[in-house]
Each structure stands twice: as C-alpha cells, then as structure tokens.
C-alpha cells in the first residue's frame, strides 16, 4: 500500500547551524586538511600566474610596446641580449609548467580529500546505524523503514559528495577569487573596477534563487525517502502482492510516488540550471566592458594607460573571476542539497530513545527468576489504555500462561518485561529490582525470547543459532540444536549447519524456524523465558517436536507464555486471563474451568476445538525418537 504521509516531515534548521554540526566530523583530519590548504595556495598561485605570463609574452616578445620595462625576474631569468623568439619560448615553457603544476596539485588534493570524505561517510553512517539500534520500538511504529534506509544511504551520500569534491571546489574557487582580485588591482585598478561592474547583478541573482533552491532540494530528499519506503514495503510483502494479484496496483502506487520524486528533482534542477546561463550572460557582458574600457584607455591617452598585453591578461582574469562565481553558484545548489540531507540526518540523530539506562543503573545480578508486576498501567497513545492496574507475581521456576482475546494486552505484558517500553504507572521487578534501575543489556541477557514469528537473519544456520552468543563453539551450537530437536532436520539439509537460510529464513518452513529459535534460546541458557506460543501456526506433527524441545528448555526456568494451544495451558502453574487490559481471572486450568467464567468461555470456544482436533489425529502422528523429519519440497517453504 502507498502511504504518502508515512515519511515524517523534517524539522527545518538554520543552514549555518547544520554546517557547524558537520564540521566536527572533519576534526580528526586536521593535519591532512592543513596539507590540502597549503597545496591549494600553491596551486592557486600557479593558476593565477597563467594570465600574467600571457600578458608578459604579448608585451615583451610578441608585440613589444615602447616604454615597457622588462620585469626584474624576467631579466634575471633570461639575461640581456636574448631574441624575442627565445624569450617567448621561455615564457611559454613557464606557462606550461604552471598549467601542469596546477593540474597535478588538483589531482593530489582531490585524491586526499576523497579519502577524508569517505572516512567521514563511514563514521557518519556508523553513528546513524548505532543510533537507530538504540531507539525504542515506539519510534519504529511511526517511521518507515525505507525512509530510514534512505537517510542512511542516500542523504549521507549527498553529504559525502559535498565534503569530497564540493568542499575542495569551494576552497579552490574562494582562493582563486581572492587571488584574482588582488592580481587585478595590483596590475591596474581602473580595469579591475570595470571587471566588477556585473558583480552586483550576480550577487542579487544568487540571493533571489537561494531560498527557492533550498526548498526544492529539501523536497527532493523527502520524496526519495518516500520512494525507498515504498520499495522496502513492497519488496518485503512481495508474497502478499502476488497472492492477491496486486502487481499492477502496486506498480501504479510506486509510479505515483516515483513521479513525485521526479517532479521534485525537475523543479530543483530547473532552478539550479536557470542560474548558470544567466551568470554566463553576465560574464560575457563583463568581458565586453573590459574590452571596450581597455581600448578606451589605450587609444585615448598618450602614452596609453594600459598595454595590449595587460588588456589580454585582464580578459583572462575577468573570465576566471566570473567562472569561480558561477561555479560557486552551482556549488551553492549542491550545498543546499547537502543541507537538506543533513537536516534529515540530524533530525534522526536528535531523536532520544524513550527507554534508556538510568545514569545510576546497575547490572542485574544472576537472576533467580522472581517476577512481579506491581499495579502496572500502560498506554501506547493517550486516552487508549492497554493495561490497567495489572498486578502479578511469578515465583522462580513457575510457568505462567497468559490467555485472552486478541488485543487484550498479552503481548504488551511481555514487551514491558523485556523493557521495550516503560510502564506509565506502577513497576515491574525482577528479584526485587525495578527494571528502570538496571541496565537493559544485563536484563535482556538473562531473558530468552521465542517469538511466534521467528526472525532469522541472512546467513548460515550455525550463525543464526549462535546469534545471541557469538562466542559459542560449534559443539555447543550442535548440542543446543539437539536439545531443541532441530539437529535431525539440519543434518538433512544440503550443507548441514552451513546451509544458507536466506532473508528472514525464507527457505525454511515455519516449524523449522521455530526449532531454530528454540535452539538459539537453549544456547543462550537464560534464567527467564518469554514465549509467544511457538506452536500456534504449525501442524500437530511439528508441534510435538516443538513441545518436546520446549519441555527441555523450560526445565528449572521461570517462564511467561502467551498461550494459543491447550497443551501449554494444562502444564502452566498459573493461568492469567486478561480482558480489556485487566486481569479478570487467575488460577490453574482445572480451577478456572470449574469457575465457569471468562476462561471457561474461551476454552469452550477455542481450546476445546484444538483438543478435539488433536484426538482426531492418527495414532502414528507422533514421530518415534529416531524417526527423521520429512525434508521434501512441501516441508521447506
């Protein structure tokens, strides 16, 4: 589905403030930047020497004017009595050297700056990714994954281009402008003033377009985020798209989002491209003024106030004076795009996690497994309570089953225990420690979670089981898989434990993914277990294997289970019935049935049907201890 409003608007920030926030990323490279600065100065001087040498060649050797004194450096270099041709050859040689030196220095500078910008890009992307990992789950419920990916990839790349090639060009053109102004004034202040006549119009034109260009580029960054979000959503949901034959509709929605991005880019580029031809026209006007005024100074005064060579030099200087201004105007558009991207990045980095370790948080000691919900209330949004005054005590080693209709608050209870969210009222304690007083890392290290929908990462089966404990040996992984009844099917796979499972474990069936999740939890050896009943979406045959694995996993551990199957409820020490965010009944399976209340109604409508289905299964549905699982194409998704 298309969500045009899903990408969150970016807070507009002061461009100078955004630029200042980017500067610290360059701080580690001060020495290299200083070297680049020195090379820039040398290269600028070499570049500025070109027009001067052309004027010297004209006035001294091509068309020597009367009364023109030979410069001291030229006399020292050539001596007396050299022919005009010899002198011209020397000056042309010097001109070639200045061009080659300027080119070589630019190549070296850009190569050095690319290394700096890529290192900066690495740091920036790492910081963004680390920050995303620290954000609370509530943040992700209101932000598109594709938009976050766009900020991490596209927006950082725009900044990288600005600080790589862009920053070098800005520094070089700035130095060139300063050098040209100084050279022109020192050579002839009259012609210099004539050269600047078009400058006010250039500045005015740039100021007029600055705000529009920035607004346009901000729109391009937002719409590319929408494109990424739309791509991510539809690629992730491609099975549903094909199952409901929605390919054409999905393509139409993507084209609409893509068209908005195209329109935004066309507007931004149109504004940028309009500026360059206007500046070219103004440059041509400035050249005409210099030519006419220079001719006037040459023809109307005796002796002339300028030489032909000086006019030639000024024509070159004038062109080079306005070229950096045009380039800086073009770079200004790139700078606006970088600022728009940086706004989106800093808007993300400024988001503070809602669930954070307290400054004085302590590590949770090895847990015994005592859990207490003390008058807990919680809401995701204002005026919509999800849990209301919930109190519950779980003794070490107990299994507690949470039962209730969809939306009653079962998943919220375990999410609060994992401290994915903080309670609004009351407290949750483990062994007497308020969750808000202990570190999240130490809490989650001692809680194992087996979700209903297991998430497997791209990689091997070995890597996925080892995910929660990277230092585990291969032998420990295999032992965990055996306890989880997963070893048998893993050995039958083409590469065994080195089999690639694909993105989200797409090459494995739901049941096999659950077995791997249990093996992952076994390897982590947690004291407390949270289970979103792992057998709700599998057949009875696979359920028996999972139940055996869970039986081994639950031994001696405190566990809270969101119950979807009757077998879980029967084995529970406590059954907690939740309705409308409140605990309405609690007790064992038998005592609650005898009460004839809410639980009895749930049992009659849901769990009894499961019991009848289980009794209807063939007697040989349960595999023997040595029986292999079927690994045909039908069992592997």
**Per-residue pLDDT tens for 48-67?**
788 878 877 887 778 776 66
Strand partners, 385: 379
What does the pLDDT read at residue 392?
A: 92
pLDDT tops 60 at residue 618: no
Name the CA radius of gyration of the chain, rounded.
37
Average pLDDT over residues 353-364: 87
d(CA 148, CA 127): 13
pLDDT at 371: 92
Instruction: Please check the confidence at residue 226 and state whether its pLDDT lies above 60.
Output: yes
Q: Please check the confidence at residue 629 and state whether its pLDDT lies above 60.
A: no
Please tell me whether residues 393 and 501 are part of one structural domain: no
In this prediction the pTM is: 0.63
Where helices occur in 135-198 by DSSP H, the ranges are 137-140, 145-150, 156-161, 167-187, 189-195
Is the bond preceding 222 in cis, omega lying within 30 degrees of 0? no
Is residue 584 very low, low, confident or very high in pLDDT (cuts 50, 70, 90)? very high
Asked if residues 631 and 489 have their Cβ atoms less than 8 Å apart, the reply is yes
- Looking at the fold, whether 483 and 433 belong to one and the same domain comes out as no
Q: Is residue 8 part of a domain?
A: no
Is 627 within a domain? no
Q: Is residue 547 part of a domain?
A: no
Strand partners, 559: 399, 529
The residue that leads in pLDDT, 614 or 517, is 517
pLDDT of residue 542: 63
Same domain, 237 and 259: yes
Rounded CA separation 40/42 (Å): 6
In a domain, 20, yes or no: no
322: CATH: 1.20.1560.10
C-alpha 310/C-alpha 313 separation (Å) is 5
pLDDT, residue 637, reads: 30
**How many Å apart are CA 637 and CA 632, to the nearest integer?**
10
pLDDT band at 547 (very low <50, low <70, confident <90, very high): confident
Q: Evaluate whether 59 touches 53 at the Cβ level (below 8 Å).
A: no
CATH number for the domain that contains residue 564? 3.40.50.300
Residue span of the structural domain in which 495 resides: 455-525
Write down the pLDDT at residue 395: 92
Q: pLDDT value at position 540? A: 63
For the record, the structure tokens of 260 come out as 């908005």
497 or 631: which leads in pLDDT: 497
**60 and 190 share a domain?**
yes
Query: Do 184 and 302 share a domain, yes or no?
Result: yes
pLDDT at res. 5: 41
Minimum mean pLDDT among 94-108, 184-198, 328-342, 613-627: which range? 613-627
283, 315, 349: which is the final residue of a domain?
Answer: 349
- 469 with 393, same domain: the answer is no
Kindly report which listed range (349-353, 490-494, 536-540) carries the lowest average pLDDT score: 536-540
Residue 9 domain-assigned (yes or no): no
Cα 450 from Cα 560, distance rounded (Å): 11
Closest by CA to 450, choosing from 336, 592, 553, is 553
Does residue 208 sit in the same domain as residue 302?
yes
Answer whether residue 24 is part of any domain.
no
Q: Is the pLDDT of residue 119 over 70?
A: yes
The answer as to whether 552 is a domain residue is no
Check whether residue 404 and residue 503 sit in a common domain. no
Q: Is 288 helix (H, G, I), strand (E, B) or coil?
A: helix
How do beta strands 574-579 and 399-403 pair? parallel
386 and 504, same domain (yes or no): no
Most confident of the ranges 253-257, 267-271, 277-281: 253-257
User: Do 198 and 253 belong to one domain?
Assistant: yes
Least trusted range by pLDDT, from 124-138, 323-337, 361-375, 426-440:
323-337
Which of 88-102, 291-305, 421-435, 603-617 holds the top average pLDDT? 421-435
Contacts of 466 (CB under 8 A, 6+ apart): 472, 477, 523
pLDDT at 598 over 60: yes
Angle at 606 between CA 604 and CA 609, to 5 degrees: 80
Question: Do 330 and 210 belong together in one domain?
Answer: yes
315, 349, 383: which is the final residue of a domain? 349
Same-domain status, 441 and 467: no
Give the pLDDT score at 615. 58
Residue 429 per-residue DSSP state:
E
Q: Which helix (H) or strand (E) holds 336?
A: helix 308-349
Q: Is residue 227 part of a domain?
A: yes
Q: Structural domain tally of the chain?
A: 3
């Amino acid at each position: 589905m298309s969500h045009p409003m899903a990408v969150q608007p970016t807070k507009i920030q002061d461009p100078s403030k955004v630029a200042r926030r980017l500067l610290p990323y360059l701080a580690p490279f001060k020495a290299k930047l200083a070297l680049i600065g020195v090379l820039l100065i040398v290269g600028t001087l070499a570049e500025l020497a070109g027009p001067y040498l052309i004027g010297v060649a004209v006035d001294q050797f091509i068309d020597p004017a009367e009364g023109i004194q030979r410069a001291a450096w030229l006399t020292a270099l050539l001596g007396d009595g050299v022919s005009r041709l010899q002198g011209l050859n020397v000056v042309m040689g010097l001109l070639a050297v200045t061009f080659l030196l300027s080119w070589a220095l630019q190549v070296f500078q850009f190569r050095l700056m690319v290394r700096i910008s890529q290192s900066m890009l690495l740091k920036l992307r790492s910081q963004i990714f680390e920050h995303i990992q620290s954000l609370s789950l509530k943040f992700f419920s209101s932000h598109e994954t594709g938009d976050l990916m766009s900020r991490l990839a596209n927006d950082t790349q725009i900044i990288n281009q600005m600080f790589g090639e862009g920053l070098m060009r800005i520094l070089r053109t700035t130095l060139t402008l300063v050098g040209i102004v100084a050279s022109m004034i020192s050579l002839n202040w009259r012609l210099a003033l004539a050269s600047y006549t078009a400058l006010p119009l250039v500045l005015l034109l740039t100021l007029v377009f600055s705000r529009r260009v920035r607004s346009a580029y901000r729109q391009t960054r937002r719409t590319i985020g929408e494109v990424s979000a739309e791509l991510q959503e539809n690629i992730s949901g491609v099975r549903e798209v094909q199952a409901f034959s929605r390919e054409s509709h999905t393509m139409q929605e993507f084209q609409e989002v893509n068209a908005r991005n195209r329109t935004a880019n066309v507007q931004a580029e149109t504004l940028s491209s309009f500026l360059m031809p206007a500046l070219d026209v103004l440059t041509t006007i400035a050249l005409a003024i210099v030519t006419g005024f220079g001719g006037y100074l040459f023809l109307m005064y005796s002796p002339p106030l300028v030489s032909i060579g000086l006019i030639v030099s000024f024509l070159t200087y004038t062109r080079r004076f306005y070229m950096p201004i045009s380039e800086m105007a073009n770079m200004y558009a790139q700078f606006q795009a970088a600022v728009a991207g940086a706004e989106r990045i800093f808007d993300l980095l400024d988001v503070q996690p809602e669930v954070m370790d307290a400054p004085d948080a302590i590590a949770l000691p090895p847990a015994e497994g005592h859990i207490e919900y003390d008058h807990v209330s919680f809401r995701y949004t204002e005026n919509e309570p999800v849990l209301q005054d919930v109190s519950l005590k779980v003794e070490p080693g107990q299994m507690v089953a949470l039962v209730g209709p969809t939306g009653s608050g079962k998943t919220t209870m375990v999410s609060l225990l994992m401290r994915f969210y903080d309670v609004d009222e009351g407290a949750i304690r483990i062994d007497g420690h308020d969750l808000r007083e202990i570190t999240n890392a130490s809490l989650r290290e001692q809680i194992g979670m087996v979700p209903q929908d297991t998430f497997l990462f791209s990689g091997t089966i070995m890597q996925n089981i080892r995910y929660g404990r990277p230092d585990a040996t291969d032998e420990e992984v295999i032992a965990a898989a055996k306890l989880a009844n997963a070893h048998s099917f893993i050995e039958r796979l083409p590469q065994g434990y080195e089999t690639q499972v694909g993105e989200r474990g797409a090459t494995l069936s739901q049941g096999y993914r659950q077995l791997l999740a249990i093996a992952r939890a076994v390897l982590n050896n947690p004291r407390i277990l949270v289970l979103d009943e792992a057998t709700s979406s599998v057949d009875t045959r696979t359920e028996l294997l999972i139940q055996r694995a869970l039986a081994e996993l639950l031994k001696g551990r405190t566990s809270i289970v969101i119950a979807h199957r009757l077998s879980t409820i029967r084995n529970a020490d406590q059954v907690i019935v939740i309705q409308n965010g409140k605990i309405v009944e609690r007790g064992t399976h038998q005592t609650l049935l005898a009460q004839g209340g809410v639980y009895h109604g749930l049992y009659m409508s849901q769990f009894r049907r499961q019991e009848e289905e289980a009794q209807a299964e063939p007697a040989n549905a349960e595999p023997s201890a040595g029986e292999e699982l079927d690994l045909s194409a039908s069992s592997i998704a």
